A and B are shown apart, each in its own frame.
Chain A
C-alpha cells in the first residue's frame, strides 16, 4: 500500500508548551485511519496543521509524494486535503440557503462567473446532495435546519471538492444513529473511491464501524499504531490513555426512597403522557435519538419549560417550578447540554464559574464571600481531579474534559434532591468520562441522578436503569442487568412504542 499522505517528525509548540512531538503518520488510499486521543492529546492541533490553519513547527508533510505545505485552509482544499470540523457552524453559513452552501466554493472560486443562474446553482447543489443521499430542502435556510442536518450539509460540501485526503473531526458527535449510519455508508463509498480518510473520534461504536487502522495519540506523541486484523481496540484505548482501562462498575441497586415522581407528564402537544419515578441513590439514564424530546424533558424538570399536562412531586411535595431559580431552590439541579453555550461563563475564571448558581448561599447579605467560593472550588478540583494550575485559571485554558468537570463540579458542590445531566459526556474524552461517571456514582446516595444520553453505550456504562424516549414520551424501561438489547434497540428506533416493560 502506498501512502497518499505522509507526516514525518512533525513538531508544534505554542510558546513553551510542546503540543506535538515527533509525530509520524501515514494515510493510505482507500483506507480509514482512526486517530484516537484523549482531549488535550493534540488531535485538534494536528488537524489544524493538516488543514492549513496553523503552520507546522518542524518535520515534513507529503501529499502523493510531493511536499505539502499549505499556507491557508483554502490552499489545503485546493491541494485536495479537505477537513470537516467538529464545530458544525464552521462548515456552513447559517444565513444562506442549502443550495448556496453546497455550491459556495464554486461560487467563490476565481474562475466563477460574475452572474449566476439560480437554476444552475440549484442543479449543481442537487448533484452534490445526491452523492451523499442528503434529504434536505435545498431552498431551506441553514439556520432553520437541525444541527444534524447542518453537519450533513457541511460534509456534503466538503465532498464536492473530490478530496484526495479527507479529515473528519468527531463528525458524529451530534448525529442521530440513523444519520450516523448514513455518514458511515458515505465513508464506505469514499473509501471505495480511493480517498484516504483520517477519522478522529473516541467513540468506540464509530471506531468499530469504520476503522481499518487505528493510531493512538497521547500528550502529542503517537503511542500506538494498530493495523493487524482483527484490530486490537482494547490495546488502542490503553495506548490512548496510557493505562489499563477498568470497566465502569455498575451495581444495579433497587431504589429505596422515592425522590421524584411525575404523573401523566406531557411535554409536546401530540405526545402520549408518561410517568416517571426516581429513587434515592439511583442513577437513571434516559436514552433516545437526537430530537425525541430529551432536552425538552430535562428543561421541563428544571423549570425552564412548563409541562403541557401532568403533575410532578419532589420529596413528597408538589413540585411545579416556574423558573430555574425555583428548581434550584427546591434542590433540582441541571448540568445543561452544550457547556460552551449554556454552561460556561467565558469571562469568569474557574471558581467564579463553579459558584455561579449558589451566590446567595455564598454571600453575607449581598457581599460575596470569595474565600468560601474558592475553598469550594478547590474541593471540587481535588475530588474530580480537574487538571489546572489553581482555582483562578481561565476556563479557556482547560481542556474540554476538564471544562466539563468544572460544570459537573458546580452542581455537585451543593447537595441536591435531583441532579439532571443532559449529555454530560459530549466532547469529553474517555478518561474524563470515567472520572465523572465514577464521581456521580460515588456521590449518588441522598439524591436521584438522571442522565440524558444519546449514546447507548454511555448509558450502559453508567446507569442502574435505562429509560428509552421516542416521540416525546417514554417507551421503554430496562434494568441495566441482562437487559434485552434487541428490544431496547427497537424501542430506540421507535418500532416498539406501545408497550411499556418493567415496573415504573
Chain B
C-alpha cells in the first residue's frame, strides 16, 4: 500500500489537480490552455532537464539561470550590435553554454571547489559579465550604444520565429516552438539517462563515485560532461527566452534558477524514484505549470505564485524522503 502511494501518489495528485481545475475553472480543459501551460514551463523545464544531469552525477548547478540570461543577452548583442544572422547568434549562445559548463566542470573536478560554491561564483560572474558590453542597458533594435552611436542591427525574422512560430497540431497554429524543443530535449535526455551506458554510468558516479571509478568509469570526464550538458541546455533556454521577448532584457529571467531547481527536485517524488530523473523533472515542471495556470484561471492573485511553488516543493520532498525511507 505504502509502495503504491509512493510510486503513483504524485501522478495521482497531478491527475486530481487537472480534473479539479477542469471542473472548477471553465476553459481550463481546452487545447489552448494545455498549450499555454506547456509554454509557460518550457524554458524552466529545459533548464531543469539540464540541472537534472548534474544532480545525477551527485553535483549541482546554480549557474543555469545566469547562463540562460547571458545567452539571451549574447543573442541580442550578436544580432543587434554585431549584425550577425540568426544562425550565428544561436551557435554563439550554444558555445557560451558549453564553455561555461566546461569551466564549471573543470573548477569542480580538477580544482576541487565544491559544486555549490563553484557554480554560485559562476552565477555572480555571469550576472555581472552580461551587463558589461552594454554598460548595464537592455539590448533592443535601435538602442544607443556606449559610444553614442545607434545600433543598426535587428533581431532577424528567423530568430524571432523561434519564439513566435506555432506548429499545426490538430488545430492550426497551436504548438509553439519552445514546447516542441522542450518535448524533444526531454525525450532525448530521458533516453540518454535511462537506456544508454553513459547515462547508467552517470548514475553510478552520483551514487558511489569510488565504486564507479573502480569499475573503470572515467569519473572526472562524466562529471565535466554533466556540467557541459547543463550549460548547453541553459543556453537553449536563453535562446528561446530572447526569441520570445525580442530583446535582450537584463531584468528578465530572475526566477529561472529557482523554478528549474524546484522542478528537478519535485521530480524526485515522481514514481517513487527518490533520485534525479528526466521523466520526473518534466512532470515536476508540468505540475507547477498546471497549478499556476489553474489558480490564475480561478483568479488567484499573482503574488501567491511563489508561495504555491514553495508549498508544492516541500510536499514533494516530504513525499520523496519521509515516505520512501519508511519502507526501507
Residues of A whose CB lies within 8 Å of any CB of B are 302, 304, 323-325, 327-329, 334, 336, 341-348, 352, 356-357, 359-360, 362-363, 366-368, 396
Interchain CB contact under 8 A, A347 and B207? yes
The 8 closest A-B pairs by CB, nearest first: A359-B197, A347-B207, A357-B215, A325-B216, A328-B216, A356-B215, A366-B196, A342-B210
Interchain CB contact under 8 A, A325 and B207? no
Residues of B whose CB lies within 8 Å of any CB of A are 195-198, 200-201, 203-204, 206-208, 210-218, 275, 328
Q: How far is the CA of A362 from the CA of B208 in the complex (A)?
A: 21
Interchain CB contact under 8 A, B197 and A344? no
Most interface-central of B196, B212, B216, B275 (chain A CB within 10 A): B216
In the assembled complex, 5 residue pairs joining A and B whose CB atoms fall closer than 8 Å, in A order, are: A345-B208, A346-B208, A352-B200, A362-B197, A368-B200
Given A344-B208, A346-B207, residue A334 in contact with residue B214 (CB < 8 A): yes
Give which listed residue, A325, A344, A366, contacts B198 with CB less than 8 A. Answer: A366
Interchain CB contact under 8 A, A348 and B213? no
Return the chain B residue nearest A357 by Cβ. B215
Report whether over half of chain B's contact residues are helix, strand or loop; otherwise say mixed: helix
Q: How far is the CA of A98 from the CA of B195 in the complex (A)?
A: 49
Interchain CB contact under 8 A, A363 and B197? yes
Contacts of A357 in B (CB 8 A): 215-216
Contacts of B213 in A (CB 8 A): 304, 324
A380 CB, min distance to chain B CBs, angstroms = 15
Q: How far is the CA of A334 from the CA of B204 in the complex (A)?
A: 17
Give which listed residue, B196, B204, B206, B328, contacts A356 with CB less than 8 A. Answer: B204
Interchain CB contact under 8 A, A343 and B195? no
Give which listed residue, B195, B196, B197, B207, contacts A348 with CB less than 8 A. Answer: B207
Across chains A and B, the number of contacting residue pairs, with CB separation under 8 Å, is 72
B91 CB, min distance to chain A CBs, angstroms = 25
Interchain CB contact under 8 A, A367 and B215? no
| 12 other A-B residue contacts (CB within 8 Å) besides A347-B208, A356-B200, A357-B215 | A304-B214, A323-B216, A324-B214, A325-B216, A328-B216, A334-B214, A344-B211, A345-B207, A347-B206, A356-B211, A363-B197, A366-B196
Interchain CB contact under 8 A, A325 and B275? no
Given A328-B216, A368-B197, residue A348 in contact with residue B203 (CB < 8 A): yes
Interchain CB contact under 8 A, B207 and A366? no
A90 CB, min distance to chain B CBs, angstroms = 18
Interchain CB contact under 8 A, B212 and A356? yes
Q: How far is the CA of A345 from the CA of B214 in the complex (A)?
A: 11
Given A323-B218, A325-B217, A328-B216, residue A359 in contact with residue B210 (CB < 8 A): no
Q: How far is the CA of A352 from the CA of B208 in the complex (A)?
A: 13
Q: How far is the CA of A362 from the CA of B213 in the complex (A)?
A: 18
Contacts of B210 in A (CB 8 A): 341-342
Contacts of B214 in A (CB 8 A): 302, 304, 324, 334, 336, 342-343
